[in-house]
Amino acid sequence: MVFISKILFFMSHHGFLTVVFLFIIFGGLSALTKKWYLLGIAFILSIGNVIGGQFLNAWFLNKYGTESTAVITSDVETSSTLNDRYIHDYEAIVKKQNGSYVTTFFSTTTAAIYPIENAIRIPRKETRFPVKFIPGYEKNIVILYDRSDEGKMLLKYEKRKPVEKARIQYEADPGNPEFISHYRSALQNYLKEYDDPEYRERLNQLENRSF
């Protein structure tokens, strides 16, 4: 597992060198065996690594890794951009199983984050957050963002959106049976996951009203 973790770390953090090594290896095999389609395999693997290398790393570490915590110690904005946003270089310390710490690094484009989604969310500097790694190579980590304090707050905010949408509809037309039903259902669904006194009071007020 340690060897696989090292390989995945290298592939996800050093994309250009990975391409070079792939073409050297498969190019050599092609020359020896005269099977030139192996160069095509090198090309496909290179593209696959660029697109999904960090996702594969995130899946592997979440599946087989051991949970611990980490803290970002440095956050440097670079001049490079991704989707019109500046890429950041990060340094962090990771708590090993024996309680000591090891340093690591990643960037906006190389960070392994779980759950895997079309978003790059990295905790703030100096904030402790949960990670997973393979013991023996703690340098390679996956950030468990949804289980961090920031992630929990963001998830709670996302869960509130349907409630607030239903509230706006209801307040615009309080006598509309459809809006009343939507608002009630949204509140009930939210309260199944979060015991929020404010939203419970909203539900009580809604159910105690005479329509």
Give pLDDT tens digits for 130-174: 999 999 999 999 999 999 999 999 999 999 999 999 999 999 999
Q: Are residues 87 and 132 in the same domain?
A: yes
What is the model's pLDDT at position 85? Answer: 86
Q: Are residues 163 and 185 in the same domain?
A: yes
CA distances from 201 to 161, 198, 210 (A): 18, 5, 16
**Domain end point (choices 91, 121, 145):** 145
Q: Specify the pTM.
A: 0.81
Using only the alpha carbons of the chain, give its radius of gyration.
Answer: 24
Per the CB < 8 A criterion, the answer to whether 49 and 18 are in contact is yes
Q: Are residues 160 and 141 in the same domain?
A: no
CATH of the domain at 77: 2.40.50
Question: Which pLDDT tens digit goes with each residue over 180-210?
Answer: 999 999 999 999 999 889 999 999 988 887 5
**Domain end point (choices 145, 172, 191):** 145
Q: Are residues 141 and 156 in the same domain?
A: no
Confidence of residue 54 (pLDDT cuts 50, 70, 90): confident
**Domain end point (choices 13, 47, 62):** 62
How many folded domains does the chain comprise?
3
Residue 133's domain comprises 65-145
Give the Cα separation of 102 and 160 in Å (integer).
38
